[in-house]
Amino acid sequence: MLDPRTAVHVHDQLRATGPLVQVITNYVSMDIAANLLNAAGASPAMVHDAREAGEFAGIAQAVVANIGTLSPPWVEGMLAAVEAAGAAGKPWVLDPVAVGATAYRRETAAALIERRPTVIRGNASEILSIATSTGAGRGVDADADTADVRTDAESLASKLETVVAMTGAVDIVTDGTRTAEIRGGDARAPMITALGCSASALVGAACAVHDDAFEASASALAILTAAIEQAAPHAEGPGSLRWRLLDALSTLSSDAVAEVVAR
Ligand SMILES: Nc1ncnc2c1ncn2[C@@H]1O[C@H](COP(=O)(O)OP(=O)(O)OP(=O)(O)O)[C@@H](O)[C@H]1O
Ligand SMILES: Cc1ncsc1CCO
Ligand SMILES: [Mg+2]
């Protein structure tokens, strides 16, 4: 349930306005997430320390908080940034990396969720884990498929009044009322470490340029899928797929974006 013209509009707006996105993310993802945002037309800033993270959120147009390699000073920075974003009415995205794995991840994700993320972007296992711990899901499955978790994602989105953007072989985006499925991409995409983290950053950028967070999130994932598909036929493996998709993203056509949404 996404109009291809909306995704094309979001794609155009990213390039026309170059939104500044504050990305507080894990060490693994910083390079690819920043490069992916640049290739899409946005402007990344990896500003995380609590002494400046809240202040910087005042300048940024969206914030992304990713718990991939968390530690107390980083969590402090994330909380400062998302609180400042929330107070200013700016969108912010939570990426709950491996949230089910440890108590510290669960507690940190819960503290961030309390501050009302605009979007939660995760894989099926992460979404199922949050849905279960908040009473919106049915149980944890470490290797969950997005299709199996669709109803949990919808319940979670309704319960938290947020958008849930769940990636996998099929990406599923929902605000609890509307649900969109983005199909396609390439089976080697999950072999590119931190591509999901980068997808979260792109969702943040899209939310900065388009007020409807459901439409923005689905559009961002469609744009990424289109770039992956353009790169895939020439890629010899995950290494060349990684750089080729950055190239593809920087020259992506509106038609390619619209085609992914319309299928
Ligand atoms: N089996 C698959 N086939 C095609 N595309 C996939 C598949 N699995 C994931 N993707 C795509 O890969 C990208 C990253 O999503 P993924 O679900 O792997 O994130 P993630 O698990 O959070 O990754 P990471 O933690 O490494 O950042 C998305 O664009 C998604 O659509
Ligand atoms: C590999 C890895 N370890 C912690 S975060 C991260 C990036 C993918 O989420
Ligand atoms: Mg992830």
Mean pLDDT in residue range 178-201: 97
Q: Contact, 217 vs 196, CB < 8 A?
A: no
**Beta pairing class for 170-174 and 179-183:** antiparallel
- pLDDT, tens digit, for every residue of 2-49? 999 999 999 999 999 999 999 999 999 999 999 999 999 999 999 999
Q: Cα of 67 to ligand 2 centre, how many Å?
A: 9
* pLDDT above 80 (res 100): yes
The number of domains in the chain is: 1
121 labeled part of a ligand binding site: yes
Whichever domain contains 175, its CATH number is: 3.40.1190.20
* pLDDT above 80 (res 183): yes
Give residue for tokens 């155009």: 12
194 labeled part of a ligand binding site: yes
* pLDDT above 90 (res 259): yes
Q: Is the ipTM above a cut-off of 0.85?
A: yes
> How far apart are the C-alpha atoms of 241 and 231, rounded to whole Å?
6
Say which ligand is closest to the CA of 144. 1
Range of the domain at 84: 4-262
46 labeled part of a ligand binding site: yes
- pLDDT, tens digit, for every residue of 137-176? 776 666 789 999 999 999 999 999 999 999 999 999 999 9
How far from chain centre, in Å, is Cα 181?
Answer: 15
Instruction: Looking at the CA of residue 29, tell me the nearest atom of ligand 2.
Output: 7
Decide whether any atom of ligand 2 lies within 6 Å of the 97 Cβ.
yes
Atom 9 of ligand 1: nearest residue by CA position: 168
Q: What is the pLDDT of residue 139?
A: 65
Calculate what percentage of the chain has a pLDDT beyond 70: 98
> How far apart are the C-alpha atoms of 110 and 99, rounded to whole Å?
10
